[in-house]
Structure 1
Amino acid sequence: MSELNSLFRKRIGISEEENITFETLDNILEKTAYNIPFENLCIIENKTNDITKENLMNKILLKKEGGLCYELNSIFYLFLIENGFNAFLARGVVYNQENQGFQTHGRNHVTILINHEGQTYLIDTGFGANLPLKPVPLTGETIISNNGKFRIEKVNTEHGDYVLHIKLKHKDTDWRIGYAFDSKRMVTDLLELNEIQSAISEHPESPFNKNPLITRLTSGGSVTLTDSSFTQWVDGKVTKEKIGYARFKELSKRHFGL
């Protein structure tokens, strides 16, 4: 077993003996979502490194940090490859709910596609609290996981040929757009993701280069931490606490191990 395979299993809490199949991916996706946070601290602190397999392993598996989509989905993609899956990385554009339009600073979302028994599925471990905890087929079928409903619509836009739709449990009363993605334009080299990291780090419209953000799913909902607030969703009930720097450091360690 490779070092990456062994370390990833240790990070999310599964044994080296467990055989990972398409049927067990639900469990793997849940454990990943619960144990590896979505966070932008390296960008805020200007401590980014080139996106390579070695650097991703060091950051997420050895130092036990989290990351953004291009880091979290890249390490999960490498883990899938190590376990025999036919997986690919693809780029997309996130939909801005506030402005009711797709973000305009490039195809800066990274997601995963896998082919299994003649069917293509989307997998995403890097979309904050909006994660489908099961593979979502590109057929339009609605998938229900512990945190909500997900489906993919085939529609040609300037951003790709499919759109992910989301309806989170306790949060969304109707379907909303998550992001558009291009199933025909694969990421063939991790070095391509450095362009995404640069855009997210430097572009004035990037939502991730202004304030710290840490979030992860929990069995009952989610926890989200910024430099000014701590929000917990538990079984549909939300609590929000205003915080300062000292409380931020305390909560980031207690709830995210950072």
Structure 2
Amino acid sequence: MSKLASLFHQRIGIWENEKITFEKLNKVLEKTATSIPFENRAIMGGNQREVTKENLTNKILEKNQGGLCYELNPLLYYYLLEHGFNAALVTGVVFNQGREEYTTLGRTHVAILLDYEGERYLIDTGFGGNLPLKPVPLSGETVSSSNGEFRIKKADIEQGDYVLEMKLKHKDSDWRTGYAFDSRNPLKDSANLNEIQTIITEHPESSFNKHPLLTRLTESGNITLTDSTFTQWMDGNVTKENIDQARFKELAKEHFGM
């Protein structure tokens, strides 16, 4: 087993030599979502590094940090390749729920497409608290997990040829748009990932370069920490605590190991 795969298993709590089949991807995705946070501390601290396989391994698996979509999904992509899966990275445009329109940042979301036995699936472990926790077929079939229901619709829009829709458990009463993605133009190399990092880091409309954000799923819901609040969803019940900087550091260490 490679260094990356071995460290990945250690980070998410899977037996080091366990053989990962398509049927076990649900387990991998669930453990990844509860073990590795979606977070922007590197951006807020001005500590971004070039997005490479080696740097992602060091940051997320050796230093036990988290990351954003252009870090978390590429790391999972490398892991899948090393387990023999036919996978590719794709980009998408996130839907702004408040404005009810696609964001103006462009194609800054990174996800994974996986081909298996004649079917194509979307895999995503870098979409904050909106993770399907299962491969989602591009055929349109709805999948259900502990985080809600998810499906993909064919589209013919500027933002892409498919759209991920979701209905989060305890949060959504109807389907809503997550993001559109383009299955026709997979990423060729890491240069695209670094371009995305630059946009997320520098664009004035980026939501990840203004305040610290840490979030991850838990067995009963999810937790989200910012510089002013700590929010917990547990079995459909939400609690929110207003915090100061000292409390932020305590909670970051307690709940995110940072």
- The residue type paired with residue 152 of structure 1 is I
Cα deviations across residues 81-104 of structure 1 (Å, max 9, x unaligned)?
A: 010100100000000000000001
The answer to whether structure 1 residue 8 and structure 2 residue 5 are counterparts is no
Aligned pairs (5 A) from 1:205-244: 205-244=205-244
Asked whether the equivalents of residues 231 and 239 of structure 1 are also in contact (C-alpha less than 8 Å), the reply is yes
Equivalent pair of 1:90/1:110 in contact (CA under 8 Å) = yes
Q: Which residue number in structure 2 is paired with residue 48 of structure 1?
A: 48
Alpha-carbon distance in 1 for matches of 2:110, 2:197: 11
Unaligned 5+ runs, structure 2: none
Asked if residue 91 in structure 1 is aligned to residue 91 in structure 2, the reply is yes
1:191 CA displacement: 2.2
Structure 1 gaps of 5+ residues are none
4+ aligned runs moved over 4 Å, structure 1: none
Q: TM-score, normalised by structure 1?
A: 0.99
Paired with 1:148 and 1:219, the residues of 2 have a C-alpha distance of 13
The 8 Å contact of residues 52 and 191 in structure 1, kept in 2 or not, is answered as no
Task: Give CA-to-partner distance per residue, 1:114-159, whole Å, 9 cap, x none.
Answer: 0000000000000000000110000111000111000000011101
Identity over aligned pairs, percent: 64
The aligned residue for residue 76 of structure 2 is 76
- Alpha-carbon distance, 1:17 to partner: 2.1
**Deviation of the 1:255 alpha carbon:** 0.3
Provide, for residues 195-247 of structure 1, a one-character-per-residue CA deviation record: whole Å limited to 9, x for no partner. 00000000001110000000000010000000000000000000000000000
Secondary structure at the counterpart of residue 183 of structure 2:
strand
Code of the residue aligned with 1:136 in structure 2: it is V
CA distance in 1, matches of 2:173, 2:250: 34
Aligned to 2:60: 60
Query: Which SS does the other structure have where 2:49 is aligned?
Result: coil
Alpha-carbon distance in 2 for matches of 1:36, 1:156: 34
Map of 2:143 onto structure 1: 143
Q: How does 1:146-157 map to 2 (within 5 A)?
A: 146-157=146-157
- Residue in 2 that maps onto 1:165: 165
Contact 1:163–1:181 (Cα < 8 Å) also in 2:
yes
Count of matched residue positions in the alignment of Structure 1 and Structure 2:
258
- Please give the alpha-carbon distance, in whole angstroms, between the structure 1 residues aligned to 2:256 and 2:157: 37
Paired residues for 1:236-255 under 5 Å: 236-255=236-255
Q: Secondary structure at the match of 1:191?
A: helix
Amino acid at match of 2:99: N
